[in-house]
Each structure stands twice: as structure tokens, then as C-alpha cells.
Structure 1
Amino acid sequence: MSEVKKIATRESYGEALVELGMKMDNLVVLDADLAGATKTSTFQKVFPERHIDCGIAEANMMGIAAGLATTGKLPFASTFAMFAAGRAYEQVRNSIAYPHLNVKIGATHAGVSVGEDGASHQCIEDLALMRVIPGMVVINPSDDVEARAAVFAAAEYNGPVYLRFGRLAIPVINTNPDYHFEIGKGIVLREGRDITLVATGLPVGEALKAAEMLSEKDGISAKVINIHTIKPLDEELIVSAAKETNKIVTIEEHSIIGGLGGAVCETLSKEYPVKVLRIGVNDVFGESGTGWELIEKHGLDAEGIYNRVKEFYLQES
């Protein structure tokens, strides 16, 4: 059996920008002295005249991106999630989102899988921060295929978009030839009748493995939904799944407060209240360690998800 291909979504981001650059003359990529890490250096090598290094000045970069958007350019402002959503929050809110400018924010190195960089660089609040901004589209792709598709979709969308990418190389799971990405539409990756696993980003692949374990070891049939767009959320799909299985588990490499879990709970409390288990970072900061060690510590690997879901299912059955 061939080994599963693994690619970091930040790599996908850089390569997708090159593809877009060949098609769109107005595409401009900005970075804040991190082009090698965010992989916008891939674009820089091909289109040096359309790559702007703003230096270690992320807030200023967002202002420049906003200005470029007013001239008809399509700017992708790139930096680590901690700086894009954290340090530059006011500029994203007031200079980009408030006037609803056509700026795309490429935020790499999100979540605890940043690893050894530690708590200061492990942004576990960005989905919540971006989701609360009026008019902001928030996308968190699960693999290379989805990351590329998300970049293309963001370029076609008229308005501000926050794109979340990771540092770690992760398995490519969206290998279905019929795969189709649409902003605001979740994807059912596995059907199930007993419980629904709703995942986003890196944990989607782990959720699929956990569902297989639940089936093989315990005879528990788990539906798996990939929610790549946190906002706008596919409320119809979430409510439909809740009605089918009556139990929901959300899984995210983010705080359980305000991200996918919060969005799903808000929807279900309004439309169809059911029991929900939120798996993610439990109101703590990150810490130093390898990316996969931290994923395992927070129970976001397949084994951790399996154990939590099984316990939840048995308690609620």
C-alpha cells in the first residue's frame, strides 16, 4: 500500500498564489518579513515586481493592502496567524472589514501544531477573532487540495477573507475526483447514523481515522463532516446532521471557545438543540513541543478523538 502524501497547507498557499498570479495581473502579494515561512517566496521568485515585503510591521501591511484594494488590485496579505489576527486586529477590522475591501489575509502557522515556537506563536484564538468581525469570511482548509481550492475561491469572492494555514505537513484526504469547494458549504466525508463528527482544518483527517476506529472496535457508526468555512457556517448541514444522529462532536485545532464549536453550538441552540461535545484547546495557552506531540496532548489525534467520542457516545446513549 502506497504511503499517504503529506503536504503543509502553507506550501499549498504559496503554490496557489503562483497559479493565480499567472491568471490575474492585478494580484499582489504582501508579506511581513516571513516570505520563506509563509511560502509567499514561491510567488516572489516568479513575480518579484508583484511581491511587497513590508518588514516586521504587520499592522502597516494591512493598511497597505487596504490601500491597494481601493486601486483595483487584489492583495493577499500574508503573515503568521498570531500576527494577522492578533497584532494587526485593529487594522483588519477598521481598514479592511469596515469598508468591506477586497483584501485576502493568508494566515499561516496557526494552532498548536506550530510546535517549538511556543505559546507566543501558537494562535488558538484567530477563528473566534475573525468570525466576530462583520462581513469577514473565515476559511480553514483541511489539506493541500482544499487549501488550493480555498485560495482560488477567495480570489473570486468580492470582500475580505481570512484564510488559515498550517505549518505541519499533513495527509492529503480530499482525493475524491468529485471534490468541489464552495464557500459556506460543508462536505460529508463519511456517512453515519449514531453520532456526527464535525471537524475543521488539520483534525479532519484525524476525525476520519477516529470514525473508522469507532466502527471497527465498537460498532459505532460516525458521520464525518468537513467544515472548511467557519463563516458563513453551513447551518443547514449541521442541523440536518443533528436531526439524523442526535449527537454532535466538534473538533478543531483552536480554542473550544468562539471557533467551530462555538459556531455550531450557536446554530443548534437556535435551530435544533442536541448534546454537543467540543474537542479542541481547553481555554489554555500553547506550549513548546513538537507539533504532533501537542496535537496528541490536546486530544486532536485519531486516538484522542476516538477516546473522547466513545466516552461521550456511551454517556449519552
Structure 2
Amino acid sequence: MTHASLARKYQPRRVIPEGERVATSAMIASLAAEGYETENAPFGHALVELAKADERVVGLSADLAKYTDLHILAQAMPERFYQMGMAEQVMVSAAAGLAREGFLPFATTYAVFASRRAYDFIAMAIAEENLPVKIVCALPGLTTGYGPSHQATEDLAIFRGLPNMTIIDPCDAVDIRQSVAAMAAHPGPIYSRLLRGKVPAVLSRWKPDYQFEIGKAQVIREGKDVLVISSGFMTMRALDAAEQLSKDGVDVAVLHSPTIKPLDTQTILREAGRGGRLVVTAENHTVVGGLGEAVASTLLRAGVTPSFRMIGLPDEFLEAGALPTLHDMYGISVAKIAEQIKGWL
């Protein structure tokens, strides 16, 4: 939070004269995805299909089923759904118990509550025991304008340091839908970010044969001038920025890395080692401890040293407001991504 935002926070409230209309900004908005088709609740629908095929699958919610799309499972199979209330520590502990009894639990909440509030319970009850609990969390990074209480800008850094934990940051509806079965097949614990509601379908447009695979990064767009290594919805933004930059004669490749841990170091080193390209990481996460630093350490340890830059959120508590304004402010909008890349060339 900046000094300016703190000053605004403690300003006296203005009394609104009777009858005066007040303009407000939407605090939570859908991601700008112009030109893309959308899928409604891809996680919820994919989980129902999985549950039909696998009787071990159950869902748990910390009073947020509607906001993590788990209400789809609750409506279709109420006997397989557990409403745990606003008690994330209890929810993940119960999920651990269910996993020990042979169930395949998918536990959902907001990313801030899993990473900050329930971390010790996840570490001790799930990760240390290497149990197959899948923790799927909405509002990752800067996908809400509600301010630091709801913006999980450091969740990847928190979970990257946890042994046995696999971490997924899906780009779109395609990634989410395909990742559900992959998570179920994975024998250990997983933390996955989640985009919910009407989610754009991006990857199928750019790479029709795309198939999500845990631990695998894939080149979605080729380019000779710049390589952007991205995760989450920043892959969508990177692809759109690449299109914008192509009009200025800048040829940008995009390597999508939906798995943050384990990182596909082989593909990253191969693509970054193709000489002459500026390498840029792009993530919806603080520049501390996320994809950018994971890629940087991978390159340094291997002795691969291209020109390297990072696009991500700053190491600070972010402001509240409308998402388009915040994404411009913090440099993760399409226009700002293109502007930064152009400035580095």
C-alpha cells in the first residue's frame, strides 16, 4: 500500500447529499479477454465428470462453493460435497483425513486463505504425509480489486518452499478443464490456482492440439526476437501483447509454463538457449519467489545467460480498485506488457 492510498484510507468520509448519485467501480470483474470464447465454470463441470467416473472424488468448501465453482458438484452430487464453514484449517485437516481413508478430496477456498491462514495445517497434515489432497483456490494474484486481504500475490512463493507440493497456475478454461483429471491421477498433494465463472478459452485458439501435462511447458507461439515464459492468465496477456508487437515488427515467442513446481527446466533451458532472444518472464504474482525467480535460478545454475527481464507484481501490498485500472497500474495489462518489452529491446 502506498503513502497516497494510506492517506485516502484515513480521509474523513464525505457525506453524500440526499438524491446525489454516486459512481462506483466494480471491485471484482471478469478478466479482459476480448475476442475469446468463454466456458462457464470449467473446474466445477470437469470435477463432476471426474466424480461420475471415480467414486473416491469428494469436494470440500470453506463456505465459498459458489465462488470456487464447487457448487456445480454440490448440486449434482450433494452426498459427495462437504460444507466446512469459514474454517480453512478444519477443511484441509478433514481433507487429509478423507485422503487417509482412500478418498480423493478436492478442497477449495480463496488463495489467500489457503496460503496464509491454513499453511501450517497443509504442511503438517497433507504435505509431510504426501497425501493426495488437491487444494484448488480462486482469486489468485491480482484477480480481485478488494485489496491485500483478498489478493494472493505471494501464494506461489509460499507453496514453492513446501516439500512434496506440486503447484499449477492454469492459463484458461482449457488448462483448468484438462488439469482436473491430471490432478486426480497425480499421487501427491497439489496446490492449483483457479479462474472461475466465465473463463476464456485461449490455448485451443492458439494451439488446437494443446494438452495439459503436469511438469510440462509448451511453446504456444514461435518468435525470433523475444521469448516470454509465462504462467496463468499472463500467458493470454503475453499472446495478445505478442500480436500487438508484431504490428511493430517485433516477433515474440510465448512459452506457457502451467506448472510452477516441478518446473520444466529442460524445455526452458532449450528455448532460452536459442541465442539472440530477449527472455522475459510474465506472472500474476509478486516478483519475489514465483515463476520469474524460478526461471532465473534455472538459467543461472545451467550457465545459460540471455538478456533477462521480469514482468510481475511489485513487492508491496497492492491497492484496491477496478481490475483494469490496477492491471495498468502494476504493469500486467496487454498494453503495459507490450510497452515494457518494446522498451527493453
Residue 301 (structure 1) aligns with: 333
Please give the per-residue CA displacement for 1:125-158, whole angstroms capped at 9, x wherever unaligned.
1111111111111001100011111111001110
Q: Kindly state the Cα deviation for residue 170 of structure 1 after the two structures are TM-superposed.
A: 4.7
Question: CA-to-partner distance for each residue in 1:29-65, whole Å, 9 max, x for gaps?
Answer: 0000111111101100011011001111001111100
Q: Which residue of 1 aligns with 2:344?
A: 312
Partner of 1:134: 163
| Structure 1 match to 2:21 | none
Residue 78 of structure 1: aligned partner: 108
Q: Report the equivalent of 1:173.
A: 202
What's 1:13 paired with? 43
**Aligned AA for 2:181?**
F
1:192 aligns to what?
223
* CA shift digits 1:265-300 (9 cap, x unpaired): 110110112332111111011221122322222111
In the superposition, relative to structure 1, how do residues 15 and 170 fare at CA in structure 2: closer, same or farther (>3 Å)?
closer
- Which of these residues, 244, 266, 275, is aligned with residue 297 of structure 2? 266
Question: Percent identical across equivalent pairs?
Answer: 40
Tell me the secondary structure at the aligned position of residue 283 of structure 2.
strand
Match of 1:58?
88
Rg: which structure is higher?
A: 2
| Counterpart for residue 160 of structure 1 | 189
Q: Secondary structure at the match of 1:112?
A: coil
Greater helix fraction, Structure 1 or Structure 2: 1
Is the deviation greater in 43-52 or in 170-179?
170-179
SS in 2 for 1:114: coil
> Distance in 2 between the 1:35 and 1:170 partners?
17
TM-score, scaled to structure 2: 0.86
Deviation at 1:3, TM superposition (A): 4.4
Aligned residues of 1:113 and 1:295 also touching (Cα < 8 A): no
- Once residues 232 and 171 of structure 1 are traced to their aligned partners in structure 2, the CA distance between those partners, rounded to angstroms, is 25
**How many Å separate the matches in 1 of 2:228 and 2:52?**
38
Distance in 1 between the 2:323 and 2:198 partners? 10
TM-score, normalised to structure 1's length? 0.93
User: Secondary structure of 2:82's partner?
Assistant: strand
> 2:343, 2:104 → 1: CA distance?
48
- CA spacing shift, 1:98–1:88, aligned 2, 3 Å: same
CA deviations on 1:71-105 (whole Å, 9 max, x unpaired) are 10000111000011111000111110001001000
SS of alignment partner, residue 20 of structure 1: helix
Q: Which moved more, 1:283-292 or 1:54-63?
A: 283-292
CA 7–283 in structure 1, closer or farther in 2 if over 3 Å, else same = farther
Give 5+ residue unaligned stretches, structure 2: 1-33
Q: Give me the CA root mean square deviation.
A: 1.5
Q: How does 1:1-317 map to 2 (within 5 A)?
A: 3-7=35-39, 11-115=41-145, 117-167=146-196, 169-175=198-204, 176-217=207-248, 219-244=249-274, 245-271=276-302, 272-313=304-345
In 2, the alpha carbon distance for the partners of 1:181 and 1:69 equals: 24
Q: What is the alpha-carbon distance in structure 2 between the residues aligned to residue 212 and residue 37 of structure 1?
A: 32
1:257 partner SS? coil
Q: Secondary structure at the match of 1:201?
A: coil
Structure 1, unpaired ranges of 5+: none
Counterpart residue identity of residue 215, structure 1: S
Number of the residue aligned with 2:13 = none
Q: 1:169 Cα deviation (Å)?
A: 4.4
CA–CA separation in structure 1 for the residues paired with 2:251 and 2:39: 29
CA change 1:125–1:282 in 2 (3 A) is same
Offset at 1:171? 2.9
CA contact (8 A) 2:37 2:201 kept: yes
AA partner of residue 259 (structure 2): T
SS in 2 for 1:28: strand
The residue matched to 1:113 in structure 2 has which SS?
coil
Amino acid aligned to 2:307 = K
Looking at structure 2, the residues matched to 62 and 170 of structure 1 have their Cα atoms a distance apart, in angstroms, of: 26
* 3-state SS in 2 of match to 1:78: strand
User: CA–CA distance in 1 between the matches of 2:257 and 2:97?
Assistant: 32
Query: Which one-letter code corresponds to 2:100 in the other structure?
Result: T
CA distance in 2, matches of 1:16, 1:285: 34
- Deviation per residue, 1:199-224 (Å, 9 max, x gap): 1111111101111222211x222111
Letter matched to residue 160 of structure 1:
P
Contact kept, 8 Å, 2:43 with 2:196, in 1: the verdict is no
SS at match of 2:144: helix
